[in-house]
Amino acid sequence: MNYQELADKIKLWGQELGFQKVGICDVDLSEHEAELQKWLDAGYHGSMDWMARHGMMRARPSELLPGTVRVISARMNYLPPEAQFASNLSDTTQAYISRYALGRDYHKLVRNQLKKLGQKIEQEVGQFGYRPFVDSAPILERPLAQKSGLGWTGKHSLILDKECGSWFFLGELLIDLPLPVDTASINECGKCSACITSCPTSAIVADGIVDARRCISYLTIEYDGVIPEEFRKSMGNRIYGCDDCQLVCPWNRFSDLTQQKDFHRREALESADLITLFMWDENTFLKNMEGSAIRRIGHLQWLRNLSVAMGNAPFSQEIVEVLSSRKGLSDVLDVHIEWALSQQLAQTPLKNATNRQQRLIRIIQKGLPRDA
């Protein structure tokens, strides 16, 4: 078999399947094991226990799928048109949702395309061992992507490339064919440190190292407990994920928009008014978020994140009223509602409030039900 010819074909098929770039690497990630262990030992994974549980298997693709000798890494752009970063982040009455999550959940789409790539190869070479992965949970996808020439690991710990920045998903196809490997990407961050200095919560603790416990993506998505108070103000209106470290990256000037309609902003998120989103009941949340990655955080966590954003919004009587109306659903949510109310009320000196506002403020301060 001419493996070089096959590798060339795989890259073409990958593009036909919607991937912007495909690369191939071997499975030796031994040089990353020590840094992974250090990251875990420092506790930077927070409550993501599965990271510790998977342990070094994440750095050993051949343990995930015995017989694996190569990994095909692929990237797919996700930046939707009309991303409206600046206007959305600066309007604190609106919710900011990480741009990768505005459309459909990418896992299924990317996995399906990788599976099709595997089937294409099978048609060419006959039966062989392969398995698609989409997610960094079981596998260290970023070092594999860098080895495959898809980009380098930036100081924000994400993969980025000169040609296209970092607004893309990664996926991997583990295979047992000894294809020729690609040249690894070299780091081009240079003296830039824009992502480090602009991170709202100082989560990038060293070049390429993120303390997840401080990262807004982790706090709003992975973490379901009480968000430490020290981060709540810095979260601003970011209710699901955070894109700041990518937004400031100079290489993202060269990004292309996604070609996948599935990643465009869904209708329910066209208007991301905080009050409207907060007033969705659980059924509305589940219906509006069907097929979205956001659905997985559940309605209570959705409300928790929105509460923080509402605490950071300019004072509005309506916000105070809707926040109060959601008290009592869960202890964790109540902590955030109380905090948000205190932030709202701190903006309204009692003497300046209207009679109705004064009554409301007194009711809330006494912790009485709204209709008391």
Kindly state whether residue 251 participates in binding ligand SF4, applying the rule CB under 6 A. Answer: yes
Q: Let me know: does 366 contact 345? Beta carbons within 8 Å.
A: no
Residues 130-189 that bind ligand SF4 (CB under 6 A): 154-156, 160, 189
According to DSSP, the residues that pair with 97 across neighbouring strands are: 240
CB of 304 to ligand SF4, least distance (A): 17
- The distance in angstroms from the start CA to the end CA of the chain is 80
Annotated catalytic residue 244: no
Residue with tokens 């099709």: 116
- Pairing state between β 238-240 and 209-210: unpaired
Beta bridge partners of 94: 273
Q: Which of 72, 145, 195, 333 binds ligand SF4 (CB under 6 A)?
A: 195
Q: Does 215 show up as a binding residue in the annotation?
A: yes
Which one among 57, 194, 209, 329 touches ligand SF4, defined by CB under 6 A?
194
Number of residues that bind ligand SF4 (CB under 6 A): 25
Other Cβ atoms within 10 Å of 100 Cβ, number = 22
d(CA 86, CA 287): 28
- C-beta neighbour count of 286 within 10 angstroms: 13
Rounded Cα distance, 179 and 182, in Å: 10
Q: Is 164 annotated as a binding residue?
A: no
Closer to ligand SF4 by Cβ: residue 102 or 189: 189
Two tokens, residue 108: 């299924």
- 286 is known to lie in a ligand binding site: no
Our CB check for ligand SF4 shows the closer of 252 and 324 to be: 252
Find the largest Cα–Cα distance for the chain.
83
Residue number of the CB atom closest to ligand SF4 = 154
58 is in an annotated binding site: yes
The CA distance from 148 to 183, in Å, is 6
Q: Which alpha helices (H) appear in the chain, and where do they start and end?
A: 3-16, 30-41, 49-54, 61-64, 85-90, 106-125, 141-147, 194-198, 216-217, 229-235, 244-247, 274-278, 282-288, 298-311, 317-325, 331-346, 355-366
Nearest CA to 289 among 268, 316, 260?
268
Which of the following is catalytic: 28, 49, 105, 135? Answer: 135
Is 281 known to sit in a ligand binding site? Answer: no
Residue choice 93, 112, 193, 324 for contact with ligand SF4 (CB under 6 A): 193
Nearer to ligand SF4, 203 or 364 (CB): 203
Return the residue of 249, 306, 323, 341 that touches ligand SF4, per CB under 6 A. 249
Please say which residue, 239 or 341, places its beta carbon nearer to ligand SF4. 239
Query: Applying CB under 6 A, which part among 242-250, 321-329, 338-346, 364-372 lies near ligand SF4?
Result: 242-250
Nearer to ligand SF4, 249 or 309 (CB): 249
Q: Tell me, residue by residue from 202 to 221, as one string, x for binding to ligand SF4 by CB under 6 A and - for no binding.
A: -xx-----x----xxx----
Task: Give the one residue of 27, 72, 245, 322 binding ligand SF4; rule: CB under 6 A.
Answer: 245
Instruction: Between 62 and 88, name the residue whose CB sits nearer to ligand SF4.
Output: 88
Beta-strand pair 152-153/159-160: antiparallel
Note whether 71 and 175 are within 8 A (CB): yes
Binding-site positions for [4Fe-4S] cluster = 189, 192, 195, 199, 215, 242, 245, 249
Q: Which residues participate in the annotated binding site for cob(II)alamin?
A: 58, 135, 153, 159, 170, 217, 242-243
Contact residues toward ligand SF4 (CB under 6 A) are: 154-156, 160, 189, 192-195, 199-201, 203-204, 210, 215-217, 242, 244-245, 248-251
Catalytic residues: 135
